[in-house]
Amino acid sequence: MNLLIPNNVTSKISVFIIWLFHICGMIGISYGNKEFFLSFTPVNLFISFVLLFINQKRLESVELKSVFLIFIIGMVSEILGVNYGLIFGEYVYLDNLGAKILGVPVLIGVNWIILTFITGSLSSLIFKNKYLSVILGAIFMILLDLIMEPVAPLLGFWIFDLPTVPLQNYIGWFAIGILTQIIFQFKISEKEFTYSTHLLIVNAIFFAFLNYQIV
């Protein structure tokens, strides 16, 4: 069975929604009312997050605690970055990602969960060895960050103090990615592949397209 083909109603609807939202976003930001479409970024992120968990095969209480731990790790690392220049370098979050705690949008913590799950699911499909899956998942996270960084300031997401993104950012991403991938690979017993892979692919296409159109 092709794991990219949705095999139930929930999966089909979820995959359709994320592709629709991202394609509309790409077209709207590039050719329409940029600020109008960017204002829906928090909604898009939240819906992607909700659908991610609707599509999970099973999440027991101990696994939900692990999900919350990924959120805390993401938020704390970002708070240290924004306020003290630690881990990722000197940067600030702009206004298009919603409400903030100590300068960090709450949805950024949610996004760390999303990115960990969608990259970790694919890496666990490629490698059955959990340690290799951890490393590959963290590499996938860095690759996605590489295509997000050039457009992030233009989309009102975040901006670094330096003219270019510092190497420290990618080292920090890899370090925190390794940590969240360890939690995902060893604590989430049943991985979901179809929705997660579609969400990873559509995010990569979304940011790659915007790199081509607006950078």
Question: Which tens digit of pLDDT belongs to each residue from 154-209?
Answer: 999 999 999 999 999 999 999 999 999 999 999 998 999 999 999 999 999 999 99
Contact by Cβ (8 Å): 70, 113: yes
Question: 21: which residues sit within 8 A by CB, 6+ positions away?
Answer: 44, 47, 48
C-alpha to C-alpha distance for 98 and 78, rounded to whole angstroms: 15
Over range 114-138, report the average pLDDT.
97
In this model, does residue 3 exceed pLDDT 80? no
Write down the pTM of the prediction. Answer: 0.95
In this model, does residue 4 exceed pLDDT 90? no
Residue 193 has phi, psi (to 5 degrees) of -110, -40
C-alpha to C-alpha distance for 110 and 179, rounded to whole angstroms: 16
- Per-domain boundaries in the chain: 9-214
In this model, does residue 20 exceed pLDDT 80? yes
